[in-house]
Amino acid sequence: MRGERRVVDTELAYAFCRCDKLNDLHELLSGRNDADLEDIAERVFDEERWEAAKLLMTLTSNWAQLTRVLCELKEFDAALDSARRADKIEVWNVLACRCVDAGELRIAHKAALRVLVEPDLMHAMIAYYEDRGLFDALLTLVDAALLLEAAHQALFTAAGVLYTKYRESAVLEFCHMWWQRCNVPQLVRACELAALWREVVYLQRQYGELDNAARSMMEHASAWLAGDFIE
């Protein structure tokens, strides 16, 4: 008997979703019922019935799927709160990308910070910003990420590479501050590609490659400082 009631309540609730009768759905679910809410939630999600999915995902505390639903509804502040409840890297990644696409860079920044501290996802997130020409927003993002306790070597190195592309005037200062946290050979290559020879010499000296530093100074006038060469 209960099994039959479960089927009836589930299909009735689903029918309300299909007909966009969300008030009737809410009234049904507020009373005694045996509806399989998780099943209905997945069905309406697959059918892109976002308002119904929002209600059902909330009732079932499915924060990961709710975040995706709220992104579809462009309710990004609510999506941020839902992502915090889900606290899964995949959810943060989706939220960041959807917010970037929607121009919601404030929320994208908060979500992307959670992604950048994951080495496996960091490069894709950086590329997502770069591909859309959001260079200033990206630099602001990586600057903030460097201050996080979870910041890792790949992140510091990627930040340095981005500086060589989009903020050349600050590369030397960046190297002074963070070279010990970077993959120095990789950062040297980025500086070479950007023809930042003074920075190349600085990194080579710090890394103990004095012969290479001397060679760089001899080959590139912009890197020449007599005191460095004599030293």
| This prediction's pTM | 0.88
Quick: pLDDT tens for 139-189: 999 999 999 999 999 999 999 999 999 999 999 999 999 999 999 999 999
What band does 1 get if pLDDT is binned at 50, 70 and 90? very low
Q: Which residue has the higher pLDDT, 72 or 15?
A: 72
Cα separation, 117 vs 151, in Å, equals 6
Residue 230's pLDDT is 44
Residue 229's pLDDT is 47
**Does the pLDDT of residue 2 top 70, yes or no?**
no
Q: What is the mean pLDDT of residues 226-230?
A: 47
**Does the pLDDT of residue 224 top 70, yes or no?**
no
Residues of the chain above pLDDT 90, percent: 73
Average pLDDT over the chain, rounded to an integer: 91
Quick: pLDDT tens for 78-96: 999 999 999 999 999 999 9
Q: Which residue has the higher pLDDT, 220 or 192?
A: 192
Q: Which residue has the higher pLDDT, 40 or 213?
A: 40
**Does the pLDDT of residue 25 top 50, yes or no?**
yes
Residue 225's pLDDT is 58
